[in-house]
Chain A
Amino acid sequence: MRMPRQQHNDDLERELAHHLAELTDEYVRQGHTPKEARRMAKQQFGTEAPIKDQCQDESPWAWLQSILQDIQFGLRQLRQAPVVTTAAVLSLALGIGANSAIISLIDTVLWRSLPVPAPQQLSFIHWQGPDFPNHLSWRRRKHVQGRSSASCGFLFDAGNRQYAEGDGRVRDHFRV
């Protein structure tokens, strides 16, 4: 970043020096002493700083330079107010942390599809009777293997269609 800017500066300095030299020559040609000519040329030329500044603004790196200056200024200001800086950094950190936590929760719960083939075909079954869960735990307690049956009421809910099936008897339709 520094190279082009430095080069641009040197270039401009040589360019302005050349202009000043030619101007001095012109005054010498008009019959002034070299010393006088030099003074007159300088006077006509004015100060170089504003010219350099303006040319700097025209350089292709002007935007980068001004961004760097802004960043430097910002860092200086931050260093001068450590309490405010700490508070700002902390609240940013907490804010970003909380946000990413919530987003990752929403991502897993709501956005990501279930890790099964054709998740749109899944249905919810709302068990309404006490029988079936009891039946399951009874099976577990008694180490029942294979077929068993239980009766219960359940609600079969597939997408928008929701229909109740009363008193279903489940007979080994589910592998437990």
Chain B
Amino acid sequence: MPQKKSDLLQGTLDLLLLKTIAPGPMHGYGIAQRILLTSKEVLQVQQGSLYPALHRLERKGLITSKWKESESGRMAKYYSLTAAGKKQFSTELEHWRRYATAISLVLEA
């Protein structure tokens, strides 16, 4: 795996965001950190993509937000999945798996 932090493949950000907040409510900074850590510091979600994406998902009704005190004692906006978001996540995950399998089938043919 390359050590360089890479840009996200177009269209995968929503999937990553949905996956990251699936276990429970998280704030924007936490989401970015979680993605960075779990991807072994490969995937860095920039604020410029993160917040517009979160707001877009919220507008679509896939996630909701609530202001809450964070572990550091600051007020933070926590995002969590709605029922529609959970459904959308499983659909997108399924799509992604099929897509990734198809790509590797072609590349390794």
Interface of A with B (CB < 8 Å)? 11-12, 14-16, 18-19, 21-23, 25, 45-46, 50-51, 54-55, 57-60
B29 touches A22 (CB 8 A): yes
Closest to A53 in B: B52
What are 9 A-B pairs with beta-carbon distances under 8 A? A15-B77, A18-B70, A21-B74, A22-B72, A46-B46, A51-B52, A58-B52, A58-B59, A59-B59
B59 touches A50 (CB 8 A): no
Closest to A26 in B: B33
Interface of B with A (CB < 8 Å)? 27-29, 32, 46-48, 51-52, 55-56, 58-59, 70, 72, 74-77
Contact of A55 among B29, B55, B74, B75 (CB under 8 A): B55
Contact of A18 among B48, B55, B77 (CB under 8 A): B77
- Label chain B's interface by main secondary structure: helix
Complex CA–CA separation, A11 to B29 (angstroms): 15
Q: In the complex, what's the smallest C-beta–C-beta distance from A27 to chain B, in angstroms?
A: 13
Complex CA–CA separation, A162 to B78 (angstroms): 85
A57 touches B52 (CB 8 A): yes
Complex CA–CA separation, A82 to B47 (angstroms): 46
The 5 closest A-B pairs by CB, nearest first: A54-B52, A58-B55, A22-B29, A58-B56, A19-B29
A14 touches B75 (CB 8 A): yes
Closest to B27 in A: A18
A11: B residues at CB distance < 8 A: 77
A23 touches B48 (CB 8 A): no
A51 touches B75 (CB 8 A): no
Complex CA–CA separation, A57 to B24 (angstroms): 27
Closest to A23 in B: B29
8 new A-B contacts, CB < 8 A, other than A18-B70, A22-B74, are: A12-B51, A19-B28, A22-B29, A45-B47, A51-B48, A55-B51, A55-B52, A58-B56
Complex CA–CA separation, A54 to B58 (angstroms): 14
B75 touches A18 (CB 8 A): yes
A16 touches B59 (CB 8 A): no
B56: A residues at CB distance < 8 A: 58
B27 touches A51 (CB 8 A): no
Q: In the complex, what's the smallest C-beta–C-beta distance from B94 to chain A, in angstroms?
A: 25
B55: A residues at CB distance < 8 A: 12, 55, 58-59
Complex CA–CA separation, A15 to B59 (angstroms): 16
B59: A residues at CB distance < 8 A: 58-60
